[in-house]
């Protein structure tokens, strides 16, 4: 059965699992909540889980960050960044998506939001939004911020978790992940995807 934008919108309007979902893909020895001592280093930010359907298959538009980036260099991520002054979280997600991969905000329908996520190693406090494109996207990549786009076939990876050993800023870690197209999807990106999968599963069950 093909999953529609209406299905996703309905699923996101339900009760999200939050930390319960995030824990499934959380790297070891990481905090899920910001402590009082973390408040000064928090970087409020937002990202966009951008979806489209092709031949009844659901895809997410992921990006690979260049190795020159200050934070999360070389990692697979969602378009997004820090929230600027006088800007809402949704406005940030749409602006960053346009700046990074060239998708016009007017082409995107926001279906809802996922739970806020704290990234311990960098201090980012991420608000993920889910957007929908009615057509297969044509990208205009900002090479300073994006090495390449990755069109991730979402439902092929639902429940298909693996583990791999990675060299991270915290040393060598065995982390839960998804392998796709020669890349490893892990960390905050995988944790956000985990909650999306759970939301869809819960939404379909309610129906």
Token pair 């939301």 is found at 199
* pTM of the predicted model as reported, rounded to 2 decimal places: 0.93
Residue 80 — left, alpha, or beta (φ > 0 → left; ψ -120 to 50 → alpha)?
left
What average pLDDT values come out for the chain (207 residues) when binned by 10 residues?
A: 90 94 89 75 94 93 87 86 95 98 98 94 92 96 95 82 81 88 91 95 77
Nearest to 15 by CA among 154, 201, 161: 201
For residue 5, the cross-strand partners are none
For 28, the token pair is: 């070891």
pLDDT at 69: 74
Determine the pLDDT at residue 168.
Answer: 75
Neighbours of 113 (CB within 10 A): 17
At residue 187's C-alpha, the angle toward residues 206 and 124, to 5°, is 100
Alpha-carbon distance of 62 to 150, in angstroms, equals 5
CA distance 41 to 7: 37
What is the tens place of the pLDDT at every residue in 94-142? 999 999 999 999 999 999 999 999 988 888 899 999 999 999 999 999 9
205/108 Cα distance (integer angstroms)? 27
Task: Give CA separation, 67 vs 75, 145, 151, in Å.
Answer: 8, 10, 20
CB atoms within 10 A of CB 132: 19
Sign of CA dihedral 2, 7, 9, 15: negative
> Which residues, in sequence order, are CB contacts of 174 under 8 Å at separation 6+?
28, 163, 164, 165, 166
Q: State the pLDDT at residue 181.
A: 85
pLDDT of residue 46: 98
Written out in words, the top-level CATH class of the domain with range 5-30+42-159+186-206 is: alpha beta
């Amino acid at each position: 059965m093909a999953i529609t934008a209406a299905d996703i919108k309905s699923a996101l309007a339900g009760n999200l699992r939050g930390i319960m979902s995030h824990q499934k893909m959380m790297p070891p020895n990481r905090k899920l909540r910001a402590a009082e001592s973390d408040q000064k280093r928090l970087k409020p930010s937002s990202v966009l889980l951008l979806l489209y359907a092709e031949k009844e298959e659901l895809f997410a538009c992921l990006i690979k960050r260049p190795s020159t980036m200050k934070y999360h260099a070389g990692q697979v991520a969602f378009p997004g960044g820090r929230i600027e002054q006088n800007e809402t979280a949704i406005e940030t997600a749409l602006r960053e998506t346009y700046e990074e991969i060239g998708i016009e905000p007017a082409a995107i329908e926001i279906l809802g939001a996922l739970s806020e996520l704290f990234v311990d190693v960098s201090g980012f406090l991420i608000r993920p939004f889910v957007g929908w494109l009615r057509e297969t996207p044509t990208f205009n990549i900002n090479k300073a911020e994006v090495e390449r786009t990755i069109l991730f076939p979402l439902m092929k990876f639902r429940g298909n978790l693996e583990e791999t050993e990675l060299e991270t800023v915290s040393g060598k870690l065995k982390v839960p992940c998804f392998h796709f197209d020669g890349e490893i999807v892990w960390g905050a990106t995988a944790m956000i995807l985990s909650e999306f999968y759970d939301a869809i599963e819960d939404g379909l069950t309610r129906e």
